[in-house]
């Protein structure tokens, strides 16, 4: 049997989707949560000097989206054909662009940078949130099955649903925003409920360590 170890900091953020894919697949895996105090001693041993890193029978793989794609392909949630795979990749890349656009806001919310979080919320977060959630809504409408791509779960459903959940703060997130921002995006709210009701995902969310981000 393959041994999976997912090393990341003791937060959800970039480690959470790989963990959820493994949980969805019913895989036993080592949920390795590295304290900040230990990080400087092991940073240089990582493929890109960052976390998360997935170890597959001891072999390391860096970059969160590469990890998610690899695991999703192993467990059948990477899209059902090359076209769907490409669409899944497009959403993942767009999400990365969105996160780059709101990076300063996120850094301030996480306490890693100084700044006026209310101004950043209004000027940086909100316009980018609206722009991107409209894109995601278009994909949901086009699928018609409650998933972003095709008529079954893909890993980008986990990616977007966790972000929605963080914004809605049903997991006590530092990223909690006013729930009224979803007034124009009811499809995304319904999507989050649907994805987080999948039995293995629901169980994971109920039993994972509670963290603020
Ligand atoms: N593009 C990379 C970014 C990785 C990254 O920046 N990880 C952060 C945590 S979210 C990290 O390792 N920070 C510690 C450091 O750079 O020393 C990915 O998605 O895996």
Domains and CATH numbers, the chain: 4-76 (3.40.30.10), 82-197 (1.20.1050.10)
Average pLDDT over every residue of 84-90: 98
Distance 9 CA to ligand 1 centre (A): 10
Q: pLDDT class for 169, splitting at 50, 70, 90?
A: confident
At residue 103, does pLDDT exceed 70? yes
* 169/52: higher pLDDT: 52
Distance 15 CA to ligand 1 centre (A): 10
Report whether residue 13 contacts ligand 1, using a CB cutoff of 6 Å: yes
| Probe target for ligand 1 pocket from 12, 13, 14, with the most ligand atoms within 8 Å of CB | 14
Q: pLDDT class for 175, splitting at 50, 70, 90?
A: confident
Nearest to 162 by CA among 54, 21, 15, 17: 17
Q: Give the model's pLDDT for residue 170.
A: 61
Report d(CA 167, CA 175) in Å as an integer. 5
Interval 186-209: pLDDT, tens: 999 999 999 999 999 999 999 999
Look up residue 26 and give its two tokens: 């019913």
Q: Whose CA is nearest to atom 17 of ligand 1?
A: 50
Q: Give the model's pLDDT for residue 171.
A: 56
Report d(CA 16, CA 22) in Å as an integer. 10
Report d(CA 151, CA 167) in Å as an integer. 25
Average pLDDT over every residue of 89-106: 97
At residue 126, does pLDDT exceed 70? yes
Q: Give the model's pLDDT for residue 148.
A: 98
At residue 183, does pLDDT exceed 60? yes
Nearest to 94 by CA among 53, 131, 50, 140: 131
Distance 144 CA to ligand 1 centre (A): 35
At residue 85, does pLDDT exceed 70? yes
Q: Whose CA is nearest to atom 15 of ligand 1?
A: 50
Cis peptide bond upstream of 128, omega within 30: no
Q: pLDDT class for 40, splitting at 50, 70, 90?
A: very high
């Amino acid at each position: 049997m393959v041994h999976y170890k997912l090393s990341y900091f003791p937060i959800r953020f970039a480690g959470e989707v790989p963990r959820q894919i493994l949980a969805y697949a019913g895989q036993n895996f080592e949920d390795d949560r590295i304290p900040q105090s230990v990080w400087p001693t092991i940073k240089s041993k990582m493929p890109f000097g960052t976390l998360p890193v997935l170890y597959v029978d001891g072999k390391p793989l860096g970059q969160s989206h590469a990890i998610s794609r690899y695991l999703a392909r192993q467990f059948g949630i990477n899209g059902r054909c090359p076209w769907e795979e490409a669409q899944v990749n497009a959403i993942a890349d767009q999400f990365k662009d969105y996160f780059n656009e709101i990076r300063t806001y996120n850094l301030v919310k996480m306490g890693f940078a100084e700044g006026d979080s209310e101004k950043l919320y209004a000027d940086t977060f909100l316009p980018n949130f609206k722009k991107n959630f409209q894109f995601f809504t278009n994909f949901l409408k086009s699928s018609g099955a409650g998933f972003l791509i095709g008529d079954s779960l893909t890993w980008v459903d986990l990616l977007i649903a966790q972000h929605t959940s963080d914004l809605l703060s049903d997991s006590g997130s530092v990223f909690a925003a006013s729930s009224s921002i979803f007034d124009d995006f009811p499809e995304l709210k319904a999507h989050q409920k649907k994805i987080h009701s999948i039995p293995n995902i629901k169980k994971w969310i109920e039993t994972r360590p509670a963290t603020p981000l």
